[in-house]
Amino acid sequence: MFIDVLRKRNPALINAAAILHKSGVIPPNTYVIDLDSVEKNVRSLAKTAESNRLQLYYMTKQIGRSGFIGRIIQANGIKQAVAVDIDEAFNLFEAGCNIGNLGHLVQPGQYQWDTVLTKLKPEVITLFSLEKAVQLSKSAIKFGLKQDVILRVISKDDLIFPGQYGGFSLEQLDYSVRELKKLQGINLIGLTCFPVMQLNSEKDGFEFTSNLQTILKARDTLLNQGIKVLHLNAPSSTSCETIPMLKKVGITHGEPGHALTGTTPLHAYNEDLLEIPSIAYLSEISHMDEEHAYTIAGGFYARSNMSKALFGERLNREAIAEYASPENIDYYGSLTRNSNMKVGDPVLYAFRTQIFVTRSHVAFIKNTDSKTPELVHFQRRGV
């Protein structure tokens, strides 16, 4: 999906991957991340958010959810993380990172609230149900706390991805808010929903999903009950391109993830976006038959939409990449074989990633545009 734009906008990353593979520094089944470009991307995002008076939480699950990258992001201007689950929150917290939002997309378990409140101490917690609110409130009262919370809201017409269902029904929100106001351990300050943006059909920009209207209608419900709405969080494709769009409709918070590596869907089609593509997946030809070359895998993602890859000692030859079915374990990827391929050749793919659900390593590198690119951090099996 991103091979062409990577060749045009960040060829140094391709060259660095080839050098580090040949020297044995980086093994196959490794995501290679250009740290210099990521830092530039973070600074661009932070500057755009500041000029639009919008607060950002960074998301690391796509790039390995490690404390190493969390500290780098915070040093370049985005000061708090959104943790997709409590395990990601622990990884970040134990490395000294700040947790901004916890509970969206995955809610903590009922016996984890004490740890959330006394150790992780997120700025806000996203809640999906009255039952979770009661659990959280009881824990907060025990410690003499009152935790700020936002509600994930849903409507029957919303776009919700499989495996991500749940939230406060818009149709029953008035009742839910009345019940939430009775809980002494929480302070309701806002709302969220996902996804609020998607690539348009022309593939030349982003557009709002119907979920935006769910957030705005829910805001009116809260206001009518006297709730001071301080936090409207609209994740999905948060980037320098979309931050002004979010601000214009009243959103206060965004959560860049793929924008950190320049891999939102629009980055595959628009070469003028501020964020630089800065991630690729390095593999190697393991063996071949008459029709295919098989590449060492472990890092493919079902929604990657990849169609081609680069191969050869200098990663300067193009091959057709065949679809990796999510029905099977990705022990190997598959390329259409041609006469130039050799066992041991490095192979480079570029697609939208979700490293945290893979078996892959992560290599953070610097000085990609030099003859001696440097591996600065190697993270085994991408947590």
Q: Tell me: the pLDDT tens digits for 96-148?
A: 999 999 999 999 999 999 999 999 999 999 999 999 999 999 999 999 999 99
Q: Tell me: the pLDDT tens digits for 311-364?
A: 999 999 999 998 777 788 999 999 999 999 999 999 999 999 999 999 999 999
CATH 2.40.37.30 spans which residues of the chain? 3-34+272-382
Contact 299, 31 (CB under 8 A): yes
Query: So what's the pLDDT on residue 200?
Result: 95
Query: So what's the pLDDT on residue 87?
Result: 95
DSSP secondary structure, 178-199, as one string: HHHTT-TTEEEEEEE-S--EEE
Query: So what's the pLDDT on residue 292?
Result: 97
Is the backbone peptide bond immediately before 265 cis, with ω within 30 degrees of 0? no
Q: Tell me: the pLDDT tens digits for 155-169?
A: 998 988 888 889 999
Q: CB under 8 Å to 173, separation ≥6 — which residues?
A: 151, 153, 218, 221
| Residue 266: DSSP 8-state | G
pLDDT band at 383; cut points 50, 70, 90: low
Query: So what's the pLDDT on residue 162?
Result: 83
Contact 333, 261 (CB under 8 A): no
Q: Global pTM?
A: 0.96
Q: Is 260 helix (H, G, I), strand (E, B) or coil?
A: helix
Query: So what's the pLDDT on residue 382?
Result: 62
Contact 259, 197 (CB under 8 A): no
CATH 3.20.20.10 spans which residues of the chain? 39-259
Query: So what's the pLDDT on residue 323?
Result: 77
Classify domain 39-259 at the CATH class level: alpha beta
DSSP secondary structure, 116-130, as one string: IIIII--SEEEE--H
Query: So what's the pLDDT on residue 222?
Result: 98
Q: Tell me: the pLDDT tens digits for 55-71?
A: 999 999 999 999 999 99
- % of residues, the chain, pLDDT over 90: 92
Q: Domain 3-34+272-382 carries which CATH code?
A: 2.40.37.30
